[in-house]
């Protein structure tokens, strides 16, 4: 059992009754747990550093996938050193894709918190994109653009169907991104892209299996890409999405790689564990089995 557990709790979740009850339940079992509440997103790295300086050997991220990303990124730093503490998970977001992908009992917060405090950690891979870390999924293309630029009220009116790939294609008139895909030891591939997901884990977007072959400790990033083809029928796309790893697919591309680069003719949006980024070039790499996570 960890001697020093520190829960980094998203500020908006701090007063939720079920969160307070989970903390009480864990402490009632004799598990020592400190709770820290960062003031905002930018304050999270400082709070993580202070927890480590105070001797924390297990830092628990209490929040959604964005909070998990912030805590993981603070623990990993520039990736040159092994993190000093393991990371636990208290899933408090709307989707909790990473926690679901890890098969945690997301609906039972007390059980999740006890697991985070007591279960042995396991080393997982950490994805890197342009010097930033991610542990779940980076998604790019027009889906990420809509997430970053569409007003909240419009998203509500569109409903959940708009967040499926098919729904997005039908609902928005967006031009594909032209660019180049480069992998070490391979010839660059030039083409048009509508959507892509880079998975360290499997799930994104509220439970969509965007990287079905991804595992957390194989040293590979799973790249799922929907390419633009003039005149391609929606039916063909729907058929290929049923078996995205089929090498015979013409629209859906699925690769497993330790590193690669995407360079677009125009800047495009990429969500990193749900956090938006905008750039022309995205360099992806992997830190193999670099961060210990409890799940």
Active site residues: 275
Instruction: Enter the tokens of residue 256.
Output: 């497993």
- Rounded to an integer, what distance in angstroms lies between the CA atom of residue 59 and that of residue 56? 7
Q: Distance between alpha carbon 152 and the CA centroid of its chain, in Å? A: 21
- Rounded to an integer, what distance in angstroms lies between the CA atom of residue 30 and that of residue 49? 25
Residue 291 and residue 76 in contact, taking contact as beta carbons nearer than 8 Å: yes
Torsion of CA 150, 152, 157, 162, to 10 degrees: 50
Please report which helix (H) or strand (E) contains residue 147, including its range: helix 142-149
Residue 207 and residue 201 in contact, taking contact as beta carbons nearer than 8 Å: no
- Rounded to an integer, what distance in angstroms lies between the CA atom of residue 259 and that of residue 183? 7
* CB within 8 Å of 217: residues ≥ 6 apart: 122, 123, 124, 125, 288, 289
Strand partners, 20: none
């Amino acid at each position: 059992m960890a001697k020093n557990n520190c829960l980094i709790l998203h500020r908006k979740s701090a007063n939720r009754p079920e969160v307070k009850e989970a903390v009480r339940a864990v402490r009632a079992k004799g598990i020592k747990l400190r709770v820290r509440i960062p003031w905002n997103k930018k304050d999270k790295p400082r709070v993580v550093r202070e927890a480590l300086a105070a001797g924390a050997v297990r830092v628990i991220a209490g929040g959604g996938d964005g909070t998990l990303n912030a805590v993981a990124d603070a623990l990993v730093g520039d990736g040159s050193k092994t993190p000093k503490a393991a990371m636990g998970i208290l899933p408090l977001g709307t989707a909790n894709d990473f926690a679901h992908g890890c098969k945690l009992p997301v609906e039972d917060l007390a059980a999740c918190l006890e697991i985070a405090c007591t279960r042995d950690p396991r080393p997982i891979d950490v994805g890197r994109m342009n010097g930033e870390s991610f542990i779940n999924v980076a998604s790019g293309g027009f889906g990420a653009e809509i997430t970053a630029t569409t007003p909240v009220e419009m998203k509500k009116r569109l409903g959940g169907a708009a967040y499926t790939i098919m729904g997005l294609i039908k609902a928005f008139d967006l031009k594909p991104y032209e660019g180049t895909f480069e992998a070490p030891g391979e010839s660059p591939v030039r083409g048009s892209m509508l959507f892509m997901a880079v998975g360290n884990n499997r799930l994104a977007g509220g439970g969509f299996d965007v990287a079905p072959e991804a595992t957390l400790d194989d040293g590979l990033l799973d790249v799922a890409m929907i390419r633009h083809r003039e005149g391609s029928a929606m039916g063909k796309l729907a058929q290929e999405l049923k078996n995205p790893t089929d090498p015979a697919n013409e629209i859906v591309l699925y690769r497993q790689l330790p590193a690669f680069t995407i360079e677009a003719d125009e800047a495009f949006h990429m969500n990193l564990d749900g956090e938006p980024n905008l750039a022309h070039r995205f360099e992806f790499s992997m830190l193999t089995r670099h961060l210990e996570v409890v799940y």
